[in-house]
Amino acid sequence: MAIIVRLDVMLALRKMKSKELAAEIGISEQNLSQLRQGHVKGVRFETLDKICAVLDCKPGDILDREDD
């Protein structure tokens, strides 16, 4: 099982750059980049909520689960 982060897809659909999103939600570009690449062990619900509010989406639009 693997969790897939589809944040790049949502950013492209909203025509938003990751730099803009990072500024909107109040995290560093480096931390957002780590999240986008799936190199984090977890994400705070508060951060996920802010991302969803800015991108006008639901958590399931950003995170997915794939069987190996």
pLDDT tens-digit map of 27-56? 999 999 999 998 999 999 999 999 999 999
**DSSP-assigned beta bridge partners for residue 61:** none
Domain assignments of the chain as residue spans, ordered by start: 2-66
User: Residue 45: phi, psi to the nearest 5?
Assistant: -60, -35
Strands (E), the chain: 2-5, 63-66
Q: Are 16 and 57 in contact (CB under 8 A)?
A: no
2-66: CATH topology is: 434 Repressor (Amino-terminal Domain) (1.10.260)
What is the mean predicted confidence (pLDDT) over 8-30?
A: 96
Determine the 3-state secondary structure of 5 from DSSP.
strand
Looking at residue 49, its pLDDT comes to 97
Looking at residue 67, its pLDDT comes to 87
